[in-house]
Structure 1
Amino acid sequence: MKVVTSGIDYIDAAVGGGIVKNSSLLVIYDSFSLGWALPFEILKHQISNGALGIIINYNLPLPRLILRANSAGLDIEEEGEKGNLVIIDVFGSRYGFHHQEEYVYRIEGFNPETYIPKLEQIYREIFRKTDKTEVVDFVFSLDGMAFEIDEDRSIKLIKRLLSNRIINGRHLFSLYLLGADRVSRGFLSWNIEFNDYVLEFSSKKGDYGISEQMYVLKSPLAKFEPKAYRYDIKHQNIMPLAAPRG
């Protein structure tokens, strides 16, 4: 079992030592949380280490996705033009947006029944054009997928994606993002079951701003212990929460 770094030291430590190759990491966040930024940050680090980043976009028009990623430190336009990042634009495919950038791929005639074969075809096309040997893919996001094709179909598609062998030999790990307030508890539960690593971000509004906690719920590594942390958004760090006294 090969373990690689997420690129973020405090995440590696929190999950017990790093990310197992060919595994998947799920980030759950609530409506006011900034936990959504973490997968973008991890992807940025992996790209800087030579991996090819693939974002499957269900949520936003491309210009807004670019703005969202920029706010988390990932420059999609720069990395795309360099050949370090590609976008599979499901959102644009569904709503008729066309983009000329070579790093943006469309799923023509999007249909849930033919989605996986078309996605596999796009992966093959991507790999014909790159000499990179390591890939990190990021689904942005699972709640966006569920909105487009409903939860039951999404669960079936996720099962097929997890069993997809097209990127074997290149795959480092997968990143999944899930807005918990937009889906049912059943859909949330299935995705916790599917993924090897699970981090949940929970926010609380107060008189002096928003505080954020990160719960590390799941990891396959032997050194892992489930813990809660205070997430320091400004300094990009975590601090273990002390148990209450008495």
Structure 2
Amino acid sequence: MDDVIKTGIGELDTMLGGGLLDDSLVLILYDTNSFGWVLGVEIFRSLVNRNGFGVVTNYSFPMSLLQKYGKMLGFNVKELGESRNMAIIDVFSAVNGIISDLPFVYSPGEIDASTYLPKMVSVYHEILREIGERKPIGLTITLDGFAYLFGEESAMKLLQRNLVMKESARITERRRRPVNIFLLNQDRVSKRFISWISQYAEHIIEFTHGEAPGVEKMVVRKSLLPEFEPCTAEFRFSKGKIRIIPERLEV
């Protein structure tokens, strides 16, 4: 199928029913002690490495800490940005009055819920010139950080308005559509917020940490591909590397 994109992670593609739908939202759900968010970063890295352009929207971390998280995974944030293969929209720093000196970091400036959409759209259109003919790969770090900065009610309204704008752009604009990966710590938001965003995601992958460090339960909760079957796996993380061991659910 032309509208299915391989993640480059074989076990995951099989669990999803073949890969990711083009122009889709991938929701990664995890808890406080989970390394499930790493899978989202690995999907992002794999897609960017295959003629993609990464657009990271940062709501949660100072840039120095973001780079440390990347280093743990062997992901050189500065190198990828300076090679013009990734841009970062740094909302966290903008809200806290910090100005980055890195050329690939974009600031929306002073921002609140009332100015969020026009300012973010303006920044994204600026980044589009860098993207060119490459496929945009979005990574939101993190959706719970977004909800914290603007409040859950405002966050839901902003996300819904953004979805309407994206649907309009599909009709009026002739450019490559993005794959967006949302990282969401379930412990930091309400069940209502999770339920609300889940209805808009084409793919949902959930992680639950166990007693053994670095060993977790991974469940593909949702995938809108016709070959998808509900499935679970053991997810392992060690020394910056992941391993997925699938196990078919009895249905």
Shorter chain as denominator, the TM-score bin is over 0.9
CA distance in 2, matches of 1:242, 1:120: 42
Code of the aligned partner of 2:234: R
Match of 1:199 in 2: 205
Q: Report SS of the residue matched to 1:139.
A: strand
Equivalent residue of 1:216, what SS? strand
Q: State the partner residue of 1:39.
A: 40
Which SS does the other structure have where 1:129 is aligned? Answer: helix
Deviation at 1:120, TM superposition (A): 0.7
Closer, same or farther: CA 219–81 of 1 in aligned 2, 3 Å: same
Aligned to 2:217: 213
Q: Give the Cα–Cα distance (whole angstroms) in 1 for the partners of residues 164 and 70 of structure 2.
A: 28
Question: Scaled by the length of structure 1, what TM-score is found?
Answer: 0.92
* Residue correspondence of structure 1 range 73-152 to structure 2 within 5 A: 73-152=74-153
Q: CA deviation at 1:210?
A: 4.5
Displacement of 1:243 = 6.6
Report the Cα offset of residue 241 of structure 1: 3.9
- Give SS of 2:46's match: helix
Matched residue SS, 1:202: strand
1:133 shift after superposition: 2.6
Give, in whole Å, the separation in 2 of the partners of 1:163 and 1:9.
33
Give aligned-pair identity as a percent: 31
Q: Tell which deviates more after alignment, 34-43 or 122-131.
A: 122-131
Q: 222, 227, 235: which is aligned to 2:231?
A: 227
Q: Distance in 2 between matches of 1:131 and 1:152?
A: 35
Q: Aligned partners of 1:200 and 1:103: how far apart in 2?
A: 31
- SS of 1:163 mapped into structure 2: helix
- Residues 1:159 and 2:163 are matched in the alignment: no
Q: Is structure 2 residue 172 aligned with structure 1 residue 171?
A: no
What letter corresponds to residue 202 of structure 1 in structure 2?
T
Worse-matched range after superposition: 107-116 or 226-235: 226-235
CA contact (8 A) 2:11 2:245 kept: no
Residue 185 of structure 1 is matched in structure 2 by: 191
Secondary structure of the 2:210 match is: strand
Q: Which range moved further: 71-80 or 15-24?
A: 71-80
Q: Kindly provide the CA deviation profile for residues 92-139 of structure 1, in whole angstroms up to 9, marking residues without a partner as x.
A: 001111111110011111111111111111111111234343101111
In the superposition, the TM-score normalised over structure 2's length comes to 0.91
Quick check: 65-74 or 235-244, which moved more? Answer: 235-244
Kindly indicate whether the alpha-carbon contact (under 8 Å) linking 1:52 and 1:132 is maintained by their aligned counterparts in 2: no
Query: Residues of 1 paired with 2:71 and 2:229: CA distance?
Result: 33
Question: Counterparts of 1:66 and 1:89 in 2: how far apart (Å)?
Answer: 13
Shift of 1:84: 0.3
> Is the alpha carbon distance of 1:11 and 1:135 closer, same or farther for their aligned partners in structure 2, counting shifts above 3 Å?
same
Residues 218 and 95 of structure 1, relative CA distance in 2, 3 Å threshold = same
Name stretches of at least 5 consecutive residues in structure 1 with no aligned partner.
Answer: none
- 1:128-178 CA distances to partner (integer Å, 9 max, x unpaired)? 234343101111111000110110111111112223335862223110010
- Count, aligned residues: 242
Give the whole-Å Cα distance in 2 for the aligned partners of 1:47 and 1:70. Answer: 17
Asked if the contact 1:200–1:217 (Cα under 8 Å) also holds between the matched residues in 2, the reply is: yes
8 A contact 2:29–2:186 mirrored in 1: yes
